[in-house]
Structure 1
Amino acid sequence: MSKANLSDNKMSATCSLSEELMALLPQTKESFKLDFSEKVEKSVVILLHQARELFYEGKMNECLKTSETIRDYSWEKLNTGTWRDVDKEWRRVYSYGCLLKVLCMCFKTDDIGEAIRVCDMGLLMGASILEDILVKVVNVLQKHLQHGKRPETKIEELSKKKTKSDHTLAPAVKLGTAVPILQCPSLEFFRKNYLVPQKPVILEGIANHWPCMKKWSVDYIQEIAGCRTVPVEVGSKYTDEEWSQRLMTVNEFISKYIMNKNDIGYLAQHQLFDQIPELKQDICIPDYCCLGSGEEDDITINAWFGPAGTISPLHQDPQQNFLAQVLGRKYIQLYSPEESESLYPHETQLLHNTSQVDVENPNLIKFPKFTEASYQSCILNPGQILFIPVKYWHYVRALDISFSVSFWWS
């Protein structure tokens, strides 16, 4: 193909992308609403209006510079103090800055990968604007992403090399400690025998029809979400001193942590299914959640994706939990809240819900009461869902490359 034809194809693709993005936007600048409370400084609101004017006038260079200024300033606001104290209005400002920057980039350059990264930052750090337009923009961008931007090393090739090393022997579940297993119990039976008395149980046959059970694999996740930027927890467990969080693409995470035996990293994400709706479409909220007092919108859905050896230290959560295993196996130990004194919770407020004890290698000189704590245990296999009652202590270790989905409900 000649250089002229390549240039024409590139221009045609850019025009097509621009047209698709414009179709997502309000047709006039007046309908591109920018309403903010007094919590956002007037000078910033003026900058947002200027960026909007510049965009609709086709002045992409000036709009790009203005949107970058908006992003930089609002980023400082997002990173001052604790996250819970960040006002949602500033998160919306950041999202608008990301949106305008992405739009200008797509009219000026073919770096779709970078545009997707900017969108993901808006989805992770910002707040919903214009009816979740950033999600819609990413969907359009992904369709135009060149296949040549995928990593050179194919996951299929890596998988063949590492199949044996990513599968470890499961610990023995001691007689009398095994969590009971039920096959599709009725709502009333589950409520009476497990929810009300707050007893753990494994449910089978509930998730058989979920699309994820047939579709999900490491390759599929790479195909659907490989170019997406996500926060990754680096380290085998969050209580380690060297534990940290980093932003990287799913492709980078899979290459570095899923397929590299020497490093441990964990994709533990409370926003993943909102950020990547294609994955959310493959799961279902268990019917048993309707027995709670909250609404369906109040249910928090979490993703847990990592290599063999990843550990969640013994801890407790403030809500009921259904832990659904999709890929791989996990070894789990559970302790009743009545055993709390023997589990030595951290004294600091930040880790008060986490035990100081290394469950599989306890220091019994330092924590002598731990031997008195009774527990239940299980190997959670693909297709099984574990009910973990509220405040129940649980320790989790991945035995294989593992993808779990948890549903926190009240």
Structure 2
Amino acid sequence: MAAVDGAEDSAASPALWAEVRALLPNTEEALTLALSGEVEDCIPPLLRRARGLLYGAEGRPCEATAATLRRLGDVLRDYSWEKLNAGPWREISKAWRQVYTYGCLFGALAEVAAGSPLAPAVRLCDMGLLMGASVLDNVLARLVRVLQMRLPRAKRRLSPEGSAKRVRIDCRPAPVVPPEDALPHLYCPSLEHFRDNYLIPQKPVVLEGTIDHWPCMKKWSVDYFCQVAGCRTVPVELGSRYTDEEWSQKLMTVSDFINQYIVNENSVGYLAQHQLFDQIPELKEDIRIPDYCCLGEGEEDDITINAWFGPEGTVSPLHQDPQQNFLVQVFGRKYIQLYSPQDSENLYPHESHILHNTSQVDVEDPDLVKFPNFRKAAFQSCILMPGQVLFIPVKYWHYVRSLDISFSVSFWWS
């Protein structure tokens, strides 16, 4: 039962502990603590001790047991956190990510057992979902759903009357798209027509009428995200574009992000991440995999789904991606320019390995003295409206600027 009227259900209620406990295996032996690789010898005894505390008492653990379980969760998280930050992410052992997840799980269960406020337990679940690896059939995703139902639904704070109007970092007006530069638009093309005329020849196109039936088109708004995901912790990119020196990342709740960067503040923050829909399944239920993705070579599980949520003025600099892309506009508008991979030499990619897929040129205010060949590059453009889907072929360069508060979903596929 969801909490209402801003009142959080008591974390100490026997009913909540029974519901949470039911997410775990019935016996201590069934909670296997399996890891995908080797870890240091001090870790397995800590995991087993925490497991024993969960199964060692009838009903909810007592206050002293909950405190010990909390400390064990802290130790597991602190120890594994050092391992997670010891080198490039791709080189981090999955086993250490699983240890971090167990630390988050035991910490969240300790908060519930102690009757503490539920928001810290929800944050621990989110940290495990973001930084860890799935254990026990993705128990953290199931646990956070139970806990979230007990929290009051967040509301966004309206700007106080008479406050200064938001000053955007990038507040250029919506450009006019000349007919000769405009991308073609198609209404619900058949799979065969799209494949033969756009996918195989690798030509971008704006599709219309293909997502009108998606639930997100009627449900999603800033207020809806506050209600459904306001208490959830997510990574936020701070700054108008990722190439700026002041660009950074920060973890915060969705409601804090909305209140600080969508509603009230004079700076730009952007929610851009590929885990949002796995982290918050309620949102994933409102979207669909575009039918045209079936024309690819990979499986549906290989499709990467990204969320892009931010205020007016946020910019994705001219860059290219390694897969085909369907960019779905749910609400708000975006101005987009596209350049063929054949023009790559005229677009002056950064020389560094990290930014080699990103142009040095500000396409709306190019420095033609520094980048003279940029004038040779031909582009197509569009203003992507709600309900439209832009097909961006693999390696096609694209520049994106939000003209309003905007939410987009991109599907990367091969």
User: Per the shorter chain, which TM-score range?
Assistant: over 0.9
Which residue of structure 2 aligns with residue 226 of structure 1?
230
Is 1:391 equivalent to 2:390 in the alignment?
no
Is 1:351 equivalent to 2:355 in the alignment?
yes
Shift of 1:109: 2.7
Is 1:121 equivalent to 2:124 in the alignment?
no
Instruction: Give the one of 296, 303, 319 matched to 1:299.
Output: 303
Which residue of structure 2 aligns with residue 381 of structure 1?
385
Which residue of structure 1 aligns with residue 17 of structure 2?
18
CA distance in 1, matches of 2:208, 2:28: 53
Shift of 1:40: 1.1
Shift of 1:26: 0.7
Distance 1:178 1:159, change over 3 A: farther
Q: Displaced runs of 4+ in structure 1, greater than 3 A?
A: 9-13, 157-169
State the percentage of identical aligned residues. Answer: 62
Which residue of structure 1 aligns with residue 140 of structure 2?
134
CA contact (8 A) 1:162 1:259 kept: no
Aligned residues: 398
Deviates most, 94-103 or 137-146? 137-146
Per-residue displacement from partner, 1:321-341 (whole Å, max 9, x unpaired)? 000000100000000000000
Instruction: Give the one of 157, 174, 193 matched to 1:189.
Output: 193
Distance 1:161 1:143, change over 3 A: farther
Which residue of structure 1 aligns with residue 115 of structure 2?
109
Is 1:175 equivalent to 2:175 in the alignment?
no
Deviates most, 259-268 or 34-43? 34-43
Is 1:154 equivalent to 2:124 in the alignment?
no
Is there any run of 5+ residues in structure 2 with no aligned partner, and where?
1-7
Is 1:45 equivalent to 2:49 in the alignment?
no
Which residue of structure 2 aligns with residue 247 of structure 1?
251
The one-letter amino acid of 2:27's match is T
CA contact (8 A) 1:233 1:268 kept: yes
Pairs within 5 Å for 1:399-410: 399-410=403-414
Shift of 1:12: 8.4
Which residue of structure 2 aligns with residue 204 of structure 1?
208
The one-letter amino acid of 2:370's match is K
Is there any run of 5+ residues in structure 1 with no aligned partner, and where?
1-8
Per-residue displacement from partner, 1:232-255 (whole Å, max 9, x unpaired)? 000000000000000000011001
Which residue of structure 1 aligns with residue 5 of structure 2?
none
CA distance in 1, matches of 2:234, 2:173: 30
Which residue of structure 1 aligns with residue 150 of structure 2?
144
Per-residue displacement from partner, 1:215-245 (whole Å, max 9, x unpaired)? 0000001100000000000000000000000
| RMSD of Structure 2 on Structure 1 (CA) | 2.1
Deviates most, 109-118 or 327-336? 109-118
Any idea what SS the aligned residue of 1:31 has?
A: coil
Any idea what SS the aligned residue of 2:321 has?
A: coil
Deviates most, 58-67 or 104-113? 58-67
Shift of 1:175: 2.6
Which residue of structure 2 aligns with residue 95 of structure 1?
101
Any idea what SS the aligned residue of 2:378 has?
A: coil
The one-letter amino acid of 2:189's match is P
TM-score with structure 1 setting the length: 0.93
Any idea what SS the aligned residue of 1:176 has?
A: helix
Which residue of structure 1 aligns with residue 370 of structure 2?
366
Distance 1:247 1:10, change over 3 A: closer
The one-letter amino acid of 1:144's match is R
Shift of 1:110: 2.9
CA contact (8 A) 1:168 1:400 kept: no
CA contact (8 A) 2:157 2:263 kept: no
Instruction: Give the one of 85, 105, 108 matched to 1:79.
Output: 85
Shift of 1:361: 0.6
CA distance in 2, matches of 1:37, 1:120: 21
CA distance in 2, matches of 1:268, 1:18: 34
Shift of 1:170: 1.7
TM-score with structure 2 setting the length: 0.92
Distance 1:159 1:36, change over 3 A: farther
